[in-house]
Structure 1
Amino acid sequence: FFFLLFLFFCFMGLFFVGGIAILGMFLVFLFWVFVAESDSILYQALDLFSGKAAALFVALAGVGMTLMYESAKRKNSPEKLTKVKSDLLKRALFLFVTGLSYYFIWPADILHYYGVYMTIGVLLLSASTRILQWISLLIPLGYMGLLIILDYEAGWDWSTLEYQDFFTPSGFLRHLFFNGFHPVFPWVAFLLTGIWVGRINLRDQKKRTRLWIGALLTFIVFTGLSAFLQSRTGYFPAPEAEALNSLLGTGPMPPTLFYMFSAGGLSVFLITVSVQVCFLYPEAKWIRYLVSTGQLALSNYFFHVVIGMVAIELLFGRLEQSFSTGFAFGYAMAFSVLLVWFSHSWRKKYKRGPLEALMRRVTG
Structure 2
Amino acid sequence: MIALDAARGLAVIGMIAVNTGPRGDNELLELLYRVPYGRASLLFVLLGGIGISLMTRRSRVQHAPLPWISLLWRCALLLLGGLALQELTHDVSVILQIYALLILFSLPLLRASGRILLLTAAASTLIGPLIWIAVQSQTDGDFDRDPVSASDPLWGIFTDIVLTGPYPLIVWAAPFVLGIWLGRIALTDAKVSTRMIIWGAVAAIGARVASLLLLATFVEPTSDLAWQRLFSSVAHSQMPLWLIGGTGSAVFVLGVCLKIRTWSHPVASPLIHLGQLALTAYVGHLLILAFIVRPGPDTLLEGVLASAATVAALTAFTWLWRQRFTRGPLEVLLRAPKLSRRAR
Interval containing the TM-score (normalised by the shorter chain): 0.7 to 0.9
Deviation at residue 232 of structure 1 after TM alignment: 4.2
1:204-219 equivalence runs, <5 A: 204-219=189-204
Choose from 59, 82, 89 the match for 2:66.
82
Q: What TM-score do the two structures reach when normalised by structure 2?
A: 0.87
Choose from 16, 19, 22 the match for 2:6.
16
Choose from 156, 177, 185 the match for 2:144.
156
Choose from 304, 307, 324 the match for 2:288.
307
Instruction: Please tell me the residue identity of whatever aligns with 2:143.
Output: G
* Counterpart position of 2:206: 221
* Cα distance between partner residues in 1 of 2:100 and 2:316: 28
1:1-364 equivalence runs, <5 A: 11-31=1-21, 34-35=22-23, 38-71=25-58, 73=60, 76=62, 78=64, 81-83=65-67, 85-105=68-88, 106=90, 108-151=93-136, 153-156=141-144, 167-232=152-217, 234=219, 239=222, 243=226, 246-277=229-260, 280-313=261-294, 318-319=295-296, 323-360=298-335, 362=337
Q: What TM-score do the two structures reach when normalised by structure 1?
A: 0.83
Deviation at residue 195 of structure 1 after TM alignment: 0.6
Paired residues of 1:233 and 1:244 also in contact (CA < 8 A): no
* Cα distance between partner residues in 2 of 1:167 and 1:240: 27
Which structure has the highest helix share of the two? Answer: 1
Task: Give me the CA root mean square deviation.
Answer: 2.7
SS at match of 1:146: helix
Q: Which deviations, in whole Å up to 9, do the C-alpha atoms of 1:119-159 show, x marking residues without a partner?
A: 112221100001100110111211232244221743328xx
Paired residues of 1:103 and 1:109 also in contact (CA < 8 A): yes
Change (3 A) 1:243 1:166: farther
Paired residues of 1:247 and 1:254 also in contact (CA < 8 A): no
SS at match of 1:207: helix
Change (3 A) 1:240 1:354: closer
Instruction: Please tell me the residue identity of whatever aligns with 1:305.
Output: L
Change (3 A) 1:204 1:330: same
* Cα distance between partner residues in 1 of 2:35 and 2:263: 31
Q: Percent identity?
A: 25
Q: Which deviations, in whole Å up to 9, do the C-alpha atoms of 1:191-214 show, x marking residues without a partner?
A: 100010111112322232223211
Paired residues of 2:102 and 2:169 also in contact (CA < 8 A): yes
Q: Which deviations, in whole Å up to 9, do the C-alpha atoms of 1:316-361 show, x marking residues without a partner?
A: xx34xx5001110121112112211211111001111111123336
Q: Which deviations, in whole Å up to 9, do the C-alpha atoms of 1:238-268 show, x marking residues without a partner?
A: 8369946643332343310011111111112
Q: How many residues align?
A: 334
* Cα distance between partner residues in 2 of 1:312 and 1:148: 35
* Cα distance between partner residues in 2 of 1:225 and 1:77: 43
Deviation at residue 58 of structure 1 after TM alignment: 0.8
Instruction: Please tell me the residue identity of whatever aligns with 1:210.
Output: R
Gaps of 5+ in 2: none
* Cα distance between partner residues in 1 of 2:27 and 2:202: 28
* Counterpart position of 1:3: none
Q: Which deviations, in whole Å up to 9, do the C-alpha atoms of 1:145-203 show, x marking residues without a partner?
A: 2244221743328xxx6789972455333311112111111101111000101111123
* Cα distance between partner residues in 1 of 2:298 and 2:42: 26
* Cα distance between partner residues in 2 of 1:329 and 1:205: 35
Change (3 A) 1:148 1:112: closer
